[in-house]
Every structure is written in structure tokens, then in C-alpha cells.
Amino acid sequence: MDIYDKVIELAKRRGFLWPSFELYGGAAGFYDYGPLGATLKRRIENIWREMYVINEGYMEIEGPTVGIEDVFIASGHVGGFSDPITVCAGCAEPFRADHLVEGVVEYPDTLSTDQLTEIIKKHNIKCPECEGALGDVNTFNLMFTTTIGPGSKRTGYMRPETAQGMFVNFQRLSRYYREKLPFGATQIGKSYRNEISPRQGVIRLREFTQAECEIFIDPKEKGHSNFGAVADDVLVLLPAKSQESGDGSVVKMTARQAVGYCRQD
């Protein structure tokens, strides 16, 4: 048992975390917070609120966890919120393809499904569970689908992040802040992602609490920001042209260079 498993086992014994639905066999990617876990979670949320809501003045809103399809089409989640998946031909276990090629290639999360399939075959990567052959890589949308109202006439999704509530309410937030920039909005609540293979304890869950802050600024007026503190930090970026072509080529540049590049583009 490695140190990570020891920490999880200790958390279970002490009442921080328990696998959900354990009485009925459980399901990967879901955890219950025990008495100490729930208390610790609330404390972290309140510290976060103190930082952003009380100290920074970014007011908190609360939106529904179920959203209509139009919202997620506009945000790109219906068409692009997916992970590459490959399924073992022997045991039928699904795996994140980009995770399987980590250590074989750099930046596997930038590769297309065809490139991942080629790498898996070229390096003869086998199923981690049974050493069986892995199938071709396809995309798997991570949103939970539901229907709204009787008759299943309207498609809905469990939100994969909390940002949508702040963006769709931008006009009302702007009026609340008397149409003066900058202003911010925060939200803490449940998000849902139908992860392919959640095997990292509470690091990657299918239902989790997310705290998010969206800050809206005038791009022409950045004098109040602390951009100088991070301007020379080096970023690894996937340009729009690489995303469109699917070649997976990345570029490295400082934050200052990236801002200049976006202005030129």
C-alpha cells in the first residue's frame, strides 16, 4: 500500500471520507463526507468565501445544477467537453487514452484520437488490468444527460462546472454593480462529470463541490491588476491553429508574450 492509499484508509477510519453506496457494492467516483470530513469541507468553503466575497467584494450567486441544452451548446460543452477513451478487448474496462501514454510522449492531452491510437499500437501498450489489447481511441462526452419535464421533450445536462451561472447572468450582475468594471461573481456548489475511470480517490470524482470566481474587467484598463507578478512565468499553450488542425503542437511563452500574441492575433 503506497502513501496515497494509506492516507485514504486513514480518512475512512477517522470519519473524513467513506465510499458512497458501500452497502450495495459502491460506484467509483463517489464519496460521502463523514462527520469530520463535512466539517472540514465547510471550513474550507468559508475560508474561500472570506477571501473572495468578504475581502475582495465579489458577491456570491447560486444557480441550478441542471442546465438546459442551449446553454451548454453555447459554451462548447456539448461539442467539445470530452476525453479520449479506449476500451480493453479482453475485460471491457474503459481507460483514459491520454493517461495511458503519459511518459511515452510529451503533452498527451493535446493529441487527437487518431494520434493516440497510433501511439498505443506503436508502443504496444496493453490494458493495465488484464494485459489485453486496447481498441481504437474515441471521444467520450463527460456530461451527465437528463431530461426536463414530462415526455422527455427537452434535453438537459448536469452542470460540469459552476461558471455557466455567472456568464448567463452577466447582464443582471452588471446592473447590480451599476455597470461599472471591474466586478466579480462567485459560486460554490456541486458539479458533475461522468469520468471515464475515476481511480484517484477524491482527486477525480463524478460528483464534487467546486468553488469558482469569475472576474470581469475592461481589457483596456489593467492598471489595477497584479499582472506584473506573473508576467514572466512560462506557460505551455495549445494555439488555436493547433487545435483546429489537431496536430497537437504546443508553444512555450511567458504570460507577457501570450498577452501580446493575443493582441496581435
C-beta neighbour count of 119 within 10 angstroms: 19
- Predicted confidence (pLDDT) per residue in 103-138, tens digit: 899 889 889 999 999 999 999 999 999 999 999 999
Domain assignment of residue 241, yes or no: yes
- Taking a C-beta distance cutoff of 8 angstroms, is the pair 93, 129 a contact? yes
What is the C-alpha to C-alpha distance for residues 112 and 99, in angstroms, rounded to an integer? 13
**What is the rounded (10 degree) CA torsion for 195, 141, 60, 52?**
60
Determine the pLDDT at residue 221. Answer: 75
Which grid coordinates are listed for 92?
A: 471491457
Q: Where is the domain boundary, 91, 126, 141?
A: 141
Q: What mean pLDDT comes out for the span 46-55?
A: 95
Task: Say if 251 falls within a structural domain.
Answer: yes
Q: Specify whether the CB–CB gap between 19 and 31 falls below 8 A.
A: yes
Give residue 117's domain range: 82-141
Question: How many domains would you assign to the chain?
Answer: 2
pTM over 0.85: no
263 has a pLDDT exceeding 60: no
Share of the chain above pLDDT 70, in %: 96
* Average of per-residue pLDDT across 249-256: 90
How confident is the model at residue 203, as a pLDDT? 82
**Residue 162 domain-assigned (yes or no):** no
The residue from 141, 156, 189 where one domain ends is 141
Domain boundary among 141, 158, 184: 141
**Assigned domain for 195 exists:** no
Q: Is 70 exceeded by the pLDDT of residue 224? A: no
Q: Where are the alpha helices (DSSP H) in the chain?
A: 3-14, 35-49, 69-74, 77-80, 97-100, 113-122, 163-168, 170-176, 240-245, 255-264
What's the mean pLDDT when you consider all of the chain?
91
Q: Identify whether the C-beta of residue 42 lies closer than 8 Å to the C-beta of residue 217.
A: no
Identify whether 252 is part of a domain.
yes
CB atoms within 10 A of CB 118: 14
Q: Judge whether residue 211 has pLDDT over 60.
A: yes
Give the separation between CA 236 and CA 74, rounded to whole angstroms: 26
Query: Is there a contact between 183 and 177 (Cβ–Cβ < 8 Å)?
Result: yes
pLDDT of residue 210: 95
Q: Quick one: which of 29, 143, 136 has its CA closest to 80? A: 143
Residue 246 has pLDDT above 80, yes or no: no
In a domain, 207, yes or no: no
Question: In which band, very low, low, confident or very high, does the pLDDT at 238 lie, cut at 50, 70 and 90?
Answer: confident
Residue range 233-261: average pLDDT? 86
pLDDT computed for residue 225 by the predictor: 63
For residue 52, give the C-alpha cell. Answer: 473572495
The Cα–Cα gap between 81 and 71 comes to 13
Residue partners of 103: CB distance under 8 A and separation at least 6:
none
At position 234, the amino acid (one-letter code) is V
**How far, in Å, are 61, 92, 99 from residue 127 at the CA level?**
44, 10, 12
Residue 112 CB partners (closer than 8 Å, separation 6+): 246, 247, 248
Looking at the domain assignment, is residue 105 inside a domain? Answer: yes
Tell me how many degrees the CA angle 16-19-25 measures, rounded to the nearest 5: 155
CATH number, position 88 = 3.30.40.230
Domain assignment present for 56: no
Query: Is there a contact between 34 and 17 (Cβ–Cβ < 8 Å)?
Result: yes
3-state DSSP assignment of residue 210: strand
